[in-house]
Amino acid sequence: MSNGGTTTICAVLRAAAGTGSVTAADEAVQTDNTNIRLTSAEQLEGERSMAAVVIIDNPFATLWYHPEKRIVHHRIHQFISGKAFRDLLLTGTEVLTKNQATKWLSDDRMNAVLRPEDVEWSHEHWFPQTALAGWKWWAIVQPDKTVGQVTMKNLAATYGQYGITSKAFTDPNDALWWLESQP
């Protein structure tokens, strides 16, 4: 991600943590075809618990951070691969690391399949750094297509060998509830 994107993500994290001010310029930023919107801590006050900070919102996916429960949460909107897939996961890892979070909700209902090169990249690059950052709990809202379900089941089994506890769901609310109930 470019320095501009990193600066924007830092602003998001400052807003989520309540440790920095959010300027009007920070509220909506376009970088690499990815819209990043900020929700300041003041905007979260008074809303229901589990108000989420929008980190990424683009045609491929949305990434949120739930500061109250320290949960990273993404929803895939359509088939995603390559740079868009990698940017989504790496940004999620940055958020997880910065906030010392341990929980990730993957809502992959609309992602039919992962390309083999994306699976390989996730094994070799994304997973090791995310696990080292403290990731422990993974709620997976299963893809609608069987081929996607098989891929996610295999990923969960592989990552489970390294200490990631995962559970598959069909409903994102059930997945969020399960993550909230984990230590």
Structure-token match 């943590």, residue found: 17
Q: Domain of 176?
A: 3-180
Radius of gyration over every alpha carbon of the chain, rounded to an integer in angstroms: 16
* Segment 64-101, tens digit of pLDDT: 999 999 999 999 999 999 999 999 999 999 999 999 99
Q: Domain total for the chain?
A: 1
Residue 14 has a pLDDT of 37
Q: What is the average per-residue pLDDT within 116-122?
A: 96
Query: b/e map of 67-84 (b: 16 or more CB within 10 Å)?
Result: bebbbbbbbbeeebeeeb
pLDDT grade, residue 8 (50/70/90)? very low
Residue 183 has a pLDDT of 93
* Segment 22-70, tens digit of pLDDT: 333 333 333 343 343 433 332 333 333 458 999 999 999 999 999 999 9
Residue 41 has a pLDDT of 31
Residue 50 has a pLDDT of 52
* CA–CA distance, 45 with 164 (Å, rounded to integer): 32
How would you classify the pairing of strands 165-169 and 53-57? unpaired
Asked if the model's pLDDT at residue 116 lies above 70, the reply is: yes
Structure tokens given for 175: 């997945």
Residue 180 has a pLDDT of 96
Structure tokens given for 156: 């969960």
What's the pTM value of the predicted model, to 2 decimals? Answer: 0.73
* Segment 135-153, tens digit of pLDDT: 999 999 999 899 999 999 9
What are the backbone dihedrals phi and psi of residue 137, each rounded to the nearest 5 degrees, phi first?
-120, 130
pLDDT grade, residue 16 (50/70/90)? very low
